[in-house]
Amino acid sequence: MTRTFGNDFLWGTATSAYQIEGAHDRDGRQDSVWDAFCRRPGAVFEGHTGDRACDHYGRMSEDIGILSWLGVNAYRFSISWSRVLPDGTGAINEAGLDFYDRLVDGLIEAGIDPMVTLFHWDYPLSLYHRGGWLNRDSAQWFADYVRVIVDRLSDRVTRWSTINEPQCFIGLGHQEGKHAPGLKLAPEDHLRAAHHALLAHGRAVQTIRAHAKVPSVVGWAPIGHISYPATEDPADIEAARRATFEMRNKDHWNNTWYSDPVCHGHYPEDGLALWGDAAPRVESGDMEIISQPLDFYGVNIYAGEPVRASEEHGWEVVSFPPGAPRTAFDWPIAPKSLEWGVRLLWERYGLPVIVTENGMANLDWPDEQGRVSDPQRIDYSSRYLAGLQRAMDAGADVRGYFHWSLLDNFEWAEGFRMRFGLVHVDFETMVRTPKASAHWYRDFIAAQRSGPTAKVGVRGAVTPGARKAI
Ligand code: IFM
């Protein structure tokens, strides 16, 4: 199939600091909550830790070489807060900051646009001991850290993503206790932590706007928790819209608790009713901070579920057929989740969308000739990208796609057993081997290099009236 996403479409891969860097105690870095969580017996599969991870810290040039070979024009990586500010606030660790300086220079030299994620879960342990996200000061601490990064990198970095998947670091980390810092808090407490994370997001946007040296493109990267229509019947489409944006469960697996404040300046009514007295106290001015104008809506979409209209409840989930394809993580393979997720989010929030993560865990290993065949990942990516193209054909304004992930890496509580990379990593030797999917992605990107352009601009470049209903 010929697909044309446009010459300026961002084709990238994504990673995060704790998952790939390693070097947990080198050059002045101090612990984050993930270092501490990994040391807790039973917290992570087989006691794996990110101490070495992929040793990206020591092999950064090699990894930039791989990105260059892939032909991506963008790379999304996160910064380790406690590598730059070992105590979370105060003294800057120049060696840590220098690492990111060199990374940015190396990427630009290779013709790859850096997209910096400012927070991807590795909260400084020292600040956790001062209350972490439960402390309202965390928004100020985050803004101070962001200022350090912006002062150093914003002469070259123009693309910023504030926080990654608040649903996970709050839901899994502060409600369910499955991720760092491993807390199972009462609703009023994890909701307060969530509110502070939203404030931190808003303060980060303000800091970038106020101090960046060149015009910046700013967004964030929540999870897309997607229901898609089982058929194209308008009643099923309405069912998907409702299912995607309604809050029915007392957990963090939804879109609107986070995205409505960020994009609309208020918590959703159904969420407030659901949480009742546990809902956070919103101080005067909070929502103005949280709802800073954004340039793009970054979204991480991996899977979703089909729904259809139901007279009784408005919508109901349609089961996958027995034996339907699933990833190694047991997530259903559902290309329509990307297609409809992007369409529905574009419709509701009216911001250009960037797919900041999409990919799959697979059981990959090198064969006797040293090749890594992963036809499942090629098929997955091909189907999801076709879905993305359909979303764009339907009018959704999509500006980029970042495959998760560049390298096999430390998959949080699953340790190293879930391999998400386009590039296989031998975690003993650290040898990198591009998988068949890496070759496929490289060819795919090369084939997209012609056709009409869709400008990836700064705020204001998108005509508000361009927003279309689906
Ligand atoms: O590895 C994670 C990433 O850190 C956040 N988004 C989902 C990925 C796969 O689970």
What residue's CA is closest to ligand 1, atom 9? Answer: 411
Pocket test for ligand 1, best of 76, 120, 168 (most atoms within 8 A of CB): 168
DSSP string, 181-215: T-----HHHHHHHHHHHHHHHHHHHHHHHHH-SS-
Average pLDDT over residues 328-338: 98
Per-residue model confidence as pLDDT tens digits over 125-139: 999 999 999 999 999
Pocket test for ligand 1, best of 20, 411, 422 (most atoms within 8 A of CB): 411
Task: For the chain, report the end-to-end CA distance as a whole number of angstroms.
Answer: 24
In the predicted structure, residue 466 carries a pLDDT above the cut 50: no
Angstrom distances, CA of residue 436 to CA of 17, 63, 379: 25, 17, 11
For 131, the 3-state DSSP assignment is coil
Q: Percent of the chain scored above 90 by pLDDT?
A: 94
**Band of pLDDT at residue 6, cut at 50, 70 and 90:** confident
Average pLDDT over residues 445-450: 87
Q: For ligand 1, which residues put their CB under 6 angstroms from it?
A: 16, 19, 165, 300, 357, 404, 411, 420
In the predicted structure, residue 452 carries a pLDDT above the cut 60: no
Per-residue model confidence as pLDDT tens digits over 12-30: 999 999 999 999 999 999 9
What is the set of active-site residues?
A: 165, 357
Q: Is the alpha carbon torsion for 374, 379, 382, 385 positive or negative?
A: negative
Q: Percent of the chain scored above 70 by pLDDT?
A: 95
What is the position in ligand 1's atom list of the atom closest to the CA of 223? 6
pLDDT at 276: 98
pLDDT at 461: 34
**Band of pLDDT at residue 4, cut at 50, 70 and 90:** confident
Dist. CA 29–CA 322, nearest whole Å: 48
Domains by residue range for the chain, with CATH: 10-448 (3.20.20.80)
Angstrom distances, CA of residue 414 to CA of 36, 163, 263: 16, 22, 32
How is residue 68 written in tokens? 């260059």
Tell me, in angstroms, the distance from the centre of ligand 1 to residue 186's CA. 25
Per-residue model confidence as pLDDT tens digits over 372-414: 999 999 999 999 999 999 999 999 999 999 999 999 999 999 9
pLDDT at 5: 92
What is the position in ligand 1's atom list of the atom closest to the CA of 412? 1
Tell me, in angstroms, the distance from the centre of ligand 1 to residue 234's CA. 33
What is the position in ligand 1's atom list of the atom closest to the CA of 404? 8
In the predicted structure, residue 460 carries a pLDDT above the cut 60: no
What residue's CA is closest to ligand 1, atom 2? Answer: 411
Inter-residue contact 380 to 360 (CB < 8 Å): yes
DSSP string, 233-286: -HHHHHHHHHHHH---SSSS--SHHHHHHHHHSS--HHHHHHHGGGSPP--TTH
Average pLDDT over residues 352-374: 98
Angle at the Cα of 23 from the Cα atoms of 420 and 184, rounded to 5 degrees: 65
Cα 219 from chain centroid (whole Å): 11
- Going by the DSSP 8-state scheme, the letter that residue 220 receives in this structure is E
What is the position in ligand 1's atom list of the atom closest to the CA of 121? 4
Least confident of 76-90, 327-341, 437-451: 437-451
β-pairing verdict for 398-404 and 296-300? unpaired
**Band of pLDDT at residue 465, cut at 50, 70 and 90:** very low
Count CB-CB contacts under 10 A for residue 308. 18
CA dihedral angle for residue 386, residue 69, residue 158, residue 342, rounded to 10 degrees: 10
Pocket test for ligand 1, best of 412, 414, 417, 425 (most atoms within 8 A of CB): 412
What is the position in ligand 1's atom list of the atom closest to the CA of 14? 3
Average pLDDT over residues 261-277: 98
Dist. CA 377–CA 329, nearest whole Å: 13
Tell me, in angstroms, the distance from the centre of ligand 1 to residue 170's CA. 14
Pocket test for ligand 1, best of 301, 404, 419, 425 (most atoms within 8 A of CB): 404
Tell me, in angstroms, the distance from the centre of ligand 1 to residue 233's CA. 33
Q: What is the mean pLDDT of the chain?
A: 95
Tell me, in angstroms, the distance from the centre of ligand 1 to residue 262's CA. 21
Average pLDDT over residues 81-86: 98
pLDDT at 3: 56
Tell me, in angstroms, the distance from the centre of ligand 1 to residue 411's CA. 7
Dist. CA 114–CA 323, nearest whole Å: 40
pLDDT at 449: 81
What is the position in ligand 1's atom list of the atom closest to the CA of 411? 1
Average pLDDT over residues 227-249: 98
Average pLDDT over residues 325-342: 98
pLDDT at 114: 98
Average pLDDT over residues 25-40: 98
Model-level pTM? 0.96
What residue's CA is closest to ligand 1, atom 1? Answer: 411
pLDDT at 305: 98
Average pLDDT over residues 296-318: 97
pLDDT at 450: 64
Tell me, in angstroms, the distance from the centre of ligand 1 to residue 208's CA. 25
Tell me, in angstroms, the distance from the centre of ligand 1 to residue 1's CA. 29
In the predicted structure, residue 176 carries a pLDDT above the cut 80: yes
Closest residue by Cα to residue 92 from 28, 8, 167 = 28
